[in-house]
Structure 1
């Protein structure tokens, strides 16, 4: 009868559990961090829409490419239109706005 080493099986099983736990941990970390490592940026508006700025404030809204902005909103000045959340112009327009004549001014304090 061949000789067997019964202690080898539990040791291999333990290593398999550790490897499985490590893989599960890596998968969970990938899911929890989302697409951050892939440079994902959220668009300000969806396809077929453009952003418009609230006149006299820092709010904005998206309008269909086929319509003009509602009263109280204006198109962003050419070349200063935010495209993605937290891009250069999105950040800029948090502290600036347009007055009723379309002039860029400092945004009023929200306090």
Structure 2
């Protein structure tokens, strides 16, 4: 008949090994995140779908997407060259939240930005 010590001993003996394995797995996970910076997990949403380009509302911060080969609808215009937002929250998407174009194509502060 086993004694109480012989029954509890295997359970106690296996815990340090399990703890070491868990600690090692955690350390590896932390190292992977630290080394990659989660760069592989970042998702950036495009402003427009493939086959479209973004346009901005004249005198406002509104925007739309227009099919390639089509002109912007009334009240909208193309963004200035080199200042076209490509992805949500990129440099130009953020910029155009507080700026717009007037009817002459000049960049101005958005009416509600101030």
Structure 1: 5+ residue stretches without partners:
13-18, 20-36
Q: Give the 3 Å change call, closer, same or farther, for CA 80–110 of structure 1 in structure 2.
A: closer
Q: Does 1:80 align with 2:83?
A: yes
> How far apart are the structure 2 equivalents of 1:54 and 1:85?
17
Residues 67-99 of structure 1 deviation map (CA, whole Å, 9 limit, x = unaligned): 000000000000000000000000000000000
- Which consecutive segments of 4 or more residues in structure 1 shift more than 2 A? none
> How far apart are the structure 2 equivalents of 1:91 and 1:61?
15
Checking the alignment, whether the CA contact within 8 Å between 2:99 and 2:113 is kept in structure 1 is: no
Q: Does 1:89 align with 2:92?
A: yes
Q: Which residue of 2 aligns with 1:102?
A: 105
Residues 49-78 of structure 1 deviation map (CA, whole Å, 9 limit, x = unaligned): 000000000010000011000000000000
Please give the TM-score of this superposition, normalised by the length of structure 1.
Answer: 0.66
RMSD of Structure 2 on Structure 1 (CA): 3.0
| SS at structure 2 position matched to 1:89 | helix
Bigger CA radius of gyration: 2
Normalized per residue, the structure richer in helix is 2
Q: Give the 3 Å change call, closer, same or farther, for CA 44–75 of structure 1 in structure 2.
A: same
